Amino acid sequence: MYALYFGNMNYSSWSLRPWLLLRHFEIPFEAHRVSVCGRGPNDDHRPYSPNGLVPCLHVDGFPVFDTLAIAEFLAERHPGLWPADWKARARARSVAAEMHSGFGALRGAMPMNVRMKCKGVMPAPAVAEDITRIAAIWTEAREVFATDAEPWLFGAFSVADAMFAPVVWRFATYNVDLPPVAAAYRDAMLAHPAMREWERGAQAEREALPAYDALAAEFGGLRAPE
Ligand SMILES: N[C@@H](CCC(=O)N[C@@H](CS)C(=O)NCC(=O)O)C(=O)O
């Protein structure tokens, strides 16, 4: 039996990833929505998460923490979470790891804030570099590894798509210009029923993290009408 401890749907970018995997692959789980404060490890989470962070997946009560570890754990137990072809799988793992450990400039300047709608302003050079690299990752995946039959990065929906889902929200809400292949991928992800469900959850939340909302305001952000 799985139980997922995850944070605010509006702000908790890490939480979205395993939640989306569980939803997409129709893996049943008990949902425990908790509140994050956005300042790193938090003792409030320690009763259910050894590292003081969410997401944390409980497997018959045993905690599996850190997003990539959760994804790998699920991939061991459920077929199809990584691409079957070895090159596609290797590349999907590389870019999932790059997402997990990189893009600090983008993450710092444009934290996930699903409810916001921004006018869009020119990002700082380091943020623009992250955006360019992510657009290149998506474009290469779509052009080299994807199929015409499905809109995802490496053929069927995989861990790589889940890993980039919070960036999809950032690009949409901060109104980031993307080249055509990357823009089409963003739109396909935004239309995913589980992404829509996540957005409804974010809209329904009442907690606000003023520091994150202030960053969105720098990009002309306003809370989107419900
Ligand atoms: N490396 C971790 C990062 C998890 C993380 O930073 N989680 C944030 C929320 S997105 C958190 O739990 N912060 C504690 C808090 O703000 O209360 C992972 O991959 O899961």
Residue nearest (by alpha carbon) to ligand 1 atom 12: 53
pLDDT the model gives residue 225: 56
Nearest-atom number in ligand 1 for the CA of 37 is 16
DSSP β-bridge partners for residue 5: 32, 56
Q: Are 67 and 97 in contact (CB under 8 A)?
A: no
Residue 200 lies in a domain: yes
Nearest-atom number in ligand 1 for the CA of 66 is 20
Q: Are residues 73 and 90 in the same domain?
A: no
Pocket test for ligand 1, best of 32, 35, 49, 53 (most atoms within 8 A of CB): 53
At 182, which CATH number?
1.20.1050.10
Task: Please tell me the distance between residue 180's alpha carbon and the centre of ligand 1 in angstroms.
Answer: 32
Q: Are residues 66 and 139 in the same domain?
A: no
Nearest-atom number in ligand 1 for the CA of 44 is 17
Q: Are residues 183 and 104 in the same domain?
A: yes
- CA–CA distance, 79 with 77 (Å, rounded to integer): 7
CA distances (Å), origin 144, targets 71, 130, 153, 180:
24, 21, 9, 16
Residue 209 lies in a domain: no
Residue 226 lies in a domain: no
Q: Are residues 64 and 121 in the same domain?
A: no
Residue 177 lies in a domain: yes
| Domain total of the chain | 2
- How would you class 42 by CB atoms within 10 Å of its CB: exposed for 0-12, middle for 13-18, buried for 19 or more? middle
Kindly report the backbone phi and psi dihedral angles of residue 122, in degrees, each rounded to the nearest multiple of 5, phi listed first: -60, 120
Closest CA to 106 of 90, 88, 126, 120: 126
- Give Rg (Cα) of the chain: 17
The three-class DSSP label of residue 42 is coil
Q: Which domain holds residue 144?
A: 86-204
Task: Please tell me the distance between residue 53's alpha carbon and the centre of ligand 1 in angstroms.
Answer: 4
Q: Are residues 99 and 194 in the same domain?
A: yes
The DSSP letter of residue 141 is I
Q: Are residues 71 and 93 in the same domain?
A: no
**Pocket around ligand 1: residues whose beta carbon is below 6 Å from it?**
7, 12-15, 36-40, 42, 53-55, 66-67
Task: Please tell me the distance between residue 62's alpha carbon and the centre of ligand 1 in angstroms.
Answer: 18
Q: Are residues 51 and 107 in the same domain?
A: no
Residue 218: how many CA atoms within 13 Å on its side-chain side?
A: 13
The residues of the chain scoring below 70 in pLDDT are: 224-226
At 28, which CATH number?
3.40.30.10
